[in-house]
Structure 1
Amino acid sequence: MGLEDAFRSMPLSKLWFDKATIYGVIPGVDADGFTNGKDTVIIENEPCKVVLKGLKASEQSFFGTDNYDAKLLIRVGIDIPAGAKITIRDANGRTTNYKRASKGYSGYLSHQEVAMVRDEKAKEVVK
């Protein structure tokens, strides 16, 4: 039984209904000889759970930003670099983008944790 199979058999992961797509950067050189980075998908549609850490209405900005800290719980065995961009699709189909992610902490047998920040402008939905 591989690491991924062992993870999927653990009860904790059976409670994760969110899906994560994680993007990293591969260094490269363009045609002019300049070094640049190219976004690449590290993993796509991986089961996960997002835990909100700091969401207080009293701390929301007057200037219309939606900024809070969150923690991503995801299986071990995925190399998540610091600074990765993470897109989460929750169980209701809503998509949230996170940036400024930490490197994954994989000190647990059952999962790893990634600290991340949602930092985007608030949008009003008018129907």
Structure 2
Amino acid sequence: MVNRTRKAIEMLYRDKCTIVEYQPIKDPITKRTNNKEVVILENQPCKLSYKNVTSTEQGKVAKLEQTIKLFISSDIEIKAGSKLIINNKEYVRSGESAIYPNHQEIILELLKDKA
């Protein structure tokens, strides 16, 4: 039953996710250890969901907030601080994963430009 449900959910996945972690890497020449981006997983099927919420406070202009949620296999571990590249956009995990038997849901934030 779980496998059929999982397959049905994964049929909805239209996006591909690349997971990047920062890991300590020792430079063989300088012998210094620096955190570098390391690709952990590439082209993992997933689905992005967007929800727009308008909030207003008395006397203030309406504020539009967008919630971005990632649906991905529950077998994949995405560590805090990981960067996710989905549809050529970079995101970071902004909360704990909600893990279900057939999938997990993760709230994401767009990665701010490094200016």
Partner of 2:110: 118
Give the root-mean-square deviation of aligned CA atoms. 3.0
Q: For the structure 1 residues 87 and 8, does the alpha-carbon distance in structure 2 shift closer, same or farther, using more than 3 Å as the test?
A: farther
* Equivalence for 1:84: 82
Aligned partner letter, 1:82: A
Amino acid at match of 2:63: E
Kept in 1: contact 2:6–2:102 (CA 8 A): no
Among 9, 14, 23, which residue is 2:20 paired with?
23
TM-score for both structures, normalised by structure 2: 0.70
- Select the structure that is richer in strand: 2
Asked whether 1:105 is paired with 2:98, we answer yes
Displacement of 1:82 in angstroms is: 0.7
Identity %: 32
User: Residue 80 of structure 1 aligns to a residue in which SS?
Assistant: coil
- Per-residue deviation, 1:53: 3.3
Are 1:48 and 2:46 an aligned pair? yes
Which sections of structure 2, spanning at least 5 residues, go unmatched? 55-61
Give the letter for the 1:41 counterpart. V
Q: Give the conservation status (yes or no) of the 8 Å contact 1:85–1:98.
A: yes
Query: What is the aligned counterpart of 2:63 among 59, 62, 70?
Result: 59
1:73 to 71, 74, 77: 71
Which structure 1 residue ranges, 5 or more long, are not aligned?
Answer: 61-66, 90-94, 122-127
Q: Which has the larger radius of gyration?
A: 2
What is the identity, as a one-letter code, of the residue corresponding to 1:59?
K
